[in-house]
Amino acid sequence: MTLSTNHAADLLTQDKNANWSHRGAKALVEYLEQLEDETGEEMEFDTVAIRCDFAEWQDLMEFAVEYFGSLEAVADKFPRYVFTEEINDAIREFIQDHGTLIEFDGGVIVSSF
């Protein structure tokens, strides 16, 4: 069965073991659809696999604090950016060097790495 973008996003938001916002779920589905188009291969829709492979965050800093364990650890990792607006660029680059970053209005989604 072929799912519409909205139907797939709705299925993700119904996953009680994940905390997808509707905007985040839709951004993730659109990313996966684009990946299908680029590779020419259809993917099987598996909410558990998606939940294991991606996580949603309110912003880049929330991801960094969770990933590195504390705000102090983020400051240690990106010392020259701590007091500048450029820290988001540094976090963005770190994520892109290690995995996938999907930014959308209202948050970010990061692949597991």
| pLDDT per 10-residue tile (average), the chain, 113 residues | 89 94 97 95 94 97 96 92 85 97 97 92
- Structural domain of 102: 5-111
Q: How far is CA 26 from CA 44, 53, 58, 64, in A?
A: 17, 16, 15, 23
DSSP letter for each residue of 54-88: EEEESSHHHHHHHHHSSHHHHHHHSGGGTTSTTHH
Determine the pLDDT at residue 26. 97
Whose structure tokens read 């492979």? Answer: 53
Determine the pLDDT at residue 80. 86
Instruction: Count up the domains in the chain and report the number.
Output: 1
Handedness of CA 93, 96, 102, 107 (dihedral sign): negative
Determine the pLDDT at residue 35. 95
User: 106, 24 in Cβ contact below 8 A?
Assistant: yes
